[in-house]
Structure 1
Amino acid sequence: MSDLPDEFKCTITNWDYIYDLCREVSDDVKAAEFEPDVVVALARGGWFAGRVICDFLGLDDLTSLKMEHYVGTAQKSGEPTVRYPMPEGSVEGKDVLVMDDIADTGGSIRRAHEYVTDRDPGEVRTATLQLLGTSEFEPDFVGERLDEWAWIVYPWNFIEDMIDLTTGVMEKGADGPYTAEEIRGLLREYHRVERIEMEIAQPGRLSEVLEEMARRGIVETVGEGEVAWRLHEDAPSGP
C-alpha cells in the first residue's frame, strides 16, 4: 500500500502540454551540443517522450528499458529494479540519452543511468520531462521543474490513474452511492482536482472513467433516475 497521506495533490496534463515539454528538452539537448546516437526510453512513462525526442533530434535509434518501481497510482514497490533488460549490444559504443517522464525520488532514472553505463556505451546523459523538488537525482536535461510534490496524471495513463484515484476517494468518503458530481467533489477534497482543470486538460472524461470502472466490475450503478455509483464489494483498493 501507498505510504502517502490520505490527501495529496494531483495535476492532470494533456498531450499538447507534454509535447511542449518534449520540445523544451530537445532544445536543451541541442543547446548543449550533445548528439546522442540512441535514446533509451524508460517503460512505460518515457515511451511517448522518447519517440517525440527522436523526432525533434532526427534520430531513428530508439530502445526501451523497463524499470519496476510503481505498482499502481502513487504506490511504490521499493527500490527500482530492471525488469526487462535492453537487447544485447543496443548501446555499446554509442552516445546515449536516457529518457523518462518524471523524476520524483529520482530512483528509476538513477538506476537506469547505472545500468546503461555498465554496458560499454559512449557518453550517457539523462533527461526527464518533469523534475520534482523531492528528487535526489539531477538529470542533465529537464523540461520543467516543480517545487511542490504532486502526482502527475499523464494522458497516456489517464484512465489507469483516474480509476485508482476515484476508487481511493470513494473508499475514503461516506458509504455512498455517489453521483458524478459528488465524485468530483471527493477528487477536489482529497487530491485538489478542480473541475475546470480537469475539463480543460481532459474534457468530458470522468463519465468515461466511471463507465470503464463499471465494465471492470469496480463500481456498479444503483437507484433510479440520476445515475449514482458505488464500489463493488470485491473492488480492489485505491491509493
Structure 2
Amino acid sequence: MPKVPVKVVKWDEIVSWARRLAENIRSSGWSPDVVVAIARGGYVPARLLCDFLGVQDLLSVQVVHWPGAAQVAEKAYVKYGLSVDLSGKNVLVMDDIVDTGDSVVLAKEVVERCCRPKSVKTAALQVITSTTKFVPDYYAVEVRDWYWYQYPWTALEDMSSFIVRMLREEKQQLWTLDRLMEKFVEWYGNELLEERFLYFREALERLKRDGVLKPMDCGGQTCYKYGQ
C-alpha cells in the first residue's frame, strides 16, 4: 500500500457526477437561484452544475483547509468571503469533495451570516462518509475509504506538492530521475504517475525554476539535488 493512497479522477467521471448531482437536486423539489462555489476546488464542479440546472448566478467564497495535497491545515478558515444581498434567494453551496466537512460548514455559515438568503443547502460531487463530520444535502458519489482524489484542475499543483513532501520526508539530497519515479510510486501508487506522467515532468521543471531542485551531472546522467 502507498503511504498516501491516490485515485485519479477523469473528466468524463466529473461530468457524469455533475449530471447525477443535478438530477438529485431536481428530484428533491428544491431549486437553487444562486450557486456559491467553494474556491478553489468547487469552481469547475459548480460551473458544470449551473449548466445542468440552468442557473445563471455563480458566486464564490474561498475557504482554505488543504494548503497542500493531502496536507490538512490545522483549522479551516475563510480567506475571501462574500458581501452581496441574496434576500429571497435559494442558495446552493458547492464543493468538489467533502472529506471532513469543515469547509462546507464554514462556507454555509458565511452565506447565512452575510447575505440574508431565503435558504441555503450544500452539495458536492463526492463525500467520504468514513471521515466527514458533515454530510451535504446533495451529493453524487459516496466513498467509504479515504483517498486523495486527484482532480484534473489541481494536477500540476498536487504533483508538485507530492514531490516536495516526499523529498522532504525522505531526507535524501541527490536523486536520479529513475529513483524519483520509483520512490514516487512507493509513496503514491502507480496510477497517479501513469495517468499524470506529463504533469510529473512539468512539476520537476517547476521545482527547478523555483530553486527547489537543482539539476546536476552524475557521470552523464541527470541528477537532481534537493534542498538549499
Corresponding residue for 1:180? 177
Corresponding residue for 2:60? 64
Deviation (angstroms), 1:232: 3.3
Deviation (angstroms), 1:159: 1.2
Deviation (angstroms), 1:207: 1.1
> Size of the alignment, in residue pairs?
224
1:21 and 2:17 aligned: yes
Q: Which runs of 5+ in 1 are unaligned?
A: 1-5, 234-239
Q: Distance in 2 between matches of 1:183 and 1:29?
A: 45
| Contact 1:65–1:85 (8 Å) recurs in 2 | yes
1:94 and 2:89 aligned: yes
After superposition, the C-alpha distances for 1:92-143 in whole angstroms (9 at most, x for unaligned) are: 2100111001111101101112222233212221111111120000111112
Corresponding residue for 1:38? 34
Corresponding residue for 1:170? 167
1:106 and 2:101 aligned: yes
User: For 1:79, which of 75, 81, 86 is the aligned residue?
Assistant: 75
Q: Which runs of 5+ in 2 are unaligned?
A: none
Give the TM-score normalised by the residue count of structure 2: 0.89
Corresponding residue for 1:160? 157
CA RMSD for the aligned pairs?
2.0
Corresponding residue for 1:217? 211
- CA gap of 1:65–1:173, structure 2 versus 1, over 3 A, is same
Deviation (angstroms), 1:203: 4.7
Deviation (angstroms), 1:11: 2.1
Corresponding residue for 1:207? 201
Moved more, 69-78 or 164-173: 69-78
- Structure richer in helix, relative to its length: 2
- CA gap of 1:128–1:85, structure 2 versus 1, over 3 A, is same
- CA gap of 1:64–1:174, structure 2 versus 1, over 3 A, is closer
Give the TM-score normalised by the residue count of structure 1: 0.85
Corresponding residue for 1:125? 121
**Identical aligned residues as a percent:** 32
| Contact 1:41–1:64 (8 Å) recurs in 2 | yes
| Contact 1:131–1:146 (8 Å) recurs in 2 | yes
